[in-house]
A and B are shown apart, each in its own frame.
Chain A
Amino acid sequence: AQSVTQLDSHVSVSEGTPVLLRCNYSSSYSPSLFWYVQHPNKGLQLLLKYTSAATLVKGINGFEAEFKKSETSFHLTKPSAHMSDAAEYFCVVSDRGKAAGNKLTFGGGTRVLVKP
Chain B
Amino acid sequence: DVKVTQSSRYLVKRTGEKVFLECVQDMDHENMFWYRQDPGLGLRLIYFSYDVKMKEKGDIPEGYSVSREKKERFSLILESASTNQTSMYLCASRRGLAGGTGSWGQETQYFGPGTRLLVL
Contacts and interface: CB of A to CB of B under 8 A. Distances in A.
B113 A102 contact: no
Contact of A108 (B40, B50, B101, B103): B40
B99 to A, nearest CB: 10
Contact of B41 (A45, A97, A108): A108
Interface in B68-86: none
Given A96-B103, A102-B105, A43 B113 contact: yes
A83 interface: no
A107 B56 CA distance: 22
Interface in B18-38: 31, 35
A40 to B, nearest CB: 11
A108 B39 CA distance: 8
A96 B101 CA distance: 9
A77 interface: no
B61 to A, nearest CB: 13
Contacts of B45: 103-104
Given A43-B4, A43-B111, A96 B106 contact: yes
Contacts of A100: 104-105
Contact of B105 (A43, A94, A109): A94
B120 interface: no
B106 A102 contact: no
Nearest to B42: A106
Given A94-B106, A98-B102, A101-B56, 8 more contacts: A31-B105, A44-B43, A45-B111, A98-B100, A98-B101, A104-B45, A104-B109, A106-B35
Interface of A: 4, 9, 31-32, 34, 36, 41-46, 49, 51, 90, 94-98, 100-104, 106-109
Interface of B: 4, 9, 31, 35, 39-45, 48, 50, 56, 58, 90, 92, 100-106, 108-114
14 contacts: A32-B105, A36-B111, A41-B9, A43-B112, A44-B90, A44-B111, A49-B106, A51-B106, A97-B102, A98-B100, A100-B105, A102-B48, A102-B50, A104-B45
Question: What are the nearest 9 A-B pairs in CB distance?
Answer: A94-B105, A106-B42, A96-B105, A44-B111, A43-B111, A32-B105, A51-B106, A106-B43, A43-B113
